[in-house]
């Protein structure tokens, strides 16, 4: 469970998050939508402290992770993150990408990590690419590997930062399918995306962010079918 209390984040004079309060429960798939510049990605990146909040609390499983003295690395080991630009390690093979963190951090032996890697690659349908290098993969394949890489650490929570925004349209589906089956397996997920179809179909809750705040939130049917705020309606009319 992630609790966020009065979260503020500024870059210089630019206040990007203006006090976010939110609780994400285990097993929930929370989809964050909103116009660009609304702070969605920053919000997500504050959850695993890739951005340091200026004010407020981020509490994961009861522990405030942005308090001084907390081992951020330990916290991040249970929160996987998938990036818009994949960020696979280009000098390592697909399998090495996946096994690097679990073996280095002593979570698994080399053999265990290889086993885990094989089973994850099977799940994302790319077992035959185990020895390929990232440069030999398509965008969709890269993103599926990136998801597998995060899952190798057996995280409790998965964060997705616009995972399909850098993909060619015909590759979006394969990535969303992987995410969908992950959601069905009960993984707690926070997904920043512009894929309204995914939000509607898979999301257990949708947050609409605008100008550094969560303006409105509801279950998908309600937020898409009957938005309360004018700003939400405007946004939805443009993207749907």
CB nearer to other proteins: pick between 105 and 239: 105
The CA angle 153-163-96, to the nearest 5 degrees, is 40
- State the minimum distance, in angstroms, from the CB of residue 150 to other proteins: 7
Question: Interface residues with other proteins (CB under 8 A)?
Answer: 48, 50, 73-74, 76-77, 79-81, 83, 85, 87-91, 100-101, 104-105, 133, 135, 146, 149-150, 153
- State the minimum distance, in angstroms, from the CB of residue 235 to other proteins: 27
CB nearer to other proteins: pick between 84 and 217: 84
Identify the bridge partners of residue 64 per DSSP, sorted by sequence position: 59
CB-based contact 17:211 (threshold 8 Å): no
- State the minimum distance, in angstroms, from the CB of residue 115 to other proteins: 18
CB nearer to other proteins: pick between 83 and 198: 83
Give the sign of the dihedral formed by CA 197, CA 77, CA 22, CA 84.
Answer: negative
CB nearer to other proteins: pick between 92 and 114: 92
- State the minimum distance, in angstroms, from the CB of residue 70 to other proteins: 13
CB nearer to other proteins: pick between 143 and 232: 143
- State the minimum distance, in angstroms, from the CB of residue 87 to other proteins: 4
CB nearer to other proteins: pick between 58 and 81: 81
- State the minimum distance, in angstroms, from the CB of residue 192 to other proteins: 14
- Burial track 97-125 (b if 16+ CB lie within 10 A, e otherwise): bbbebbbeeeebeeeebbebbeebbebbe
């Amino acid at each position: 469970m992630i609790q966020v209390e009065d979260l503020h984040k500024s870059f210089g004079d630019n206040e990007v998050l203006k006090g976010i309060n939110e609780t994400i429960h285990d097993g929930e798939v929370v989809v964050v939508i909103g116009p660009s510049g609304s702070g969605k990605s920053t919000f997500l990146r504050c959850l695993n402290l890739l951005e340091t909040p200026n004010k407020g609390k981020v509490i994961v499983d009861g522990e405030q992770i942005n308090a001084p003295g907390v081992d951020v690395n330990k916290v991040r080991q249970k929160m996987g993150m998938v990036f818009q630009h994949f960020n696979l390690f280009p000098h390592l093979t697909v399998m090495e990408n996946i096994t690097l963190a679990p073996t280095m951090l002593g979570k698994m032996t080399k053999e265990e990590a290889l086993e885990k890697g094989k089973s994850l690659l099977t799940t994302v349908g790319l077992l035959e690419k185990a020895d390929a290098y990232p440069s030999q993969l398509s965008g969709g394949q890269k993103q599926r590997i990136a998801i597998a890489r995060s899952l190798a650490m057996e995280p409790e929570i998965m964060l997705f930062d616009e995972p399909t925004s850098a993909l060619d349209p015909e590759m979006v589906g394969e990535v969303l399918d992987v995410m969908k089956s992950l959601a069905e397996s009960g993984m707690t997920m926070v997904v920043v995306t512009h894929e309204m179809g995914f939000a509607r179909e898979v999301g257990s809750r949708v947050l609409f962010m605008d100008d550094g705040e969560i303006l409105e939130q509801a279950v998908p049917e309600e937020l898409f079918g009957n938005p309360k705020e004018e700003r939400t309606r405007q946004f939805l009319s443009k993207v749907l």
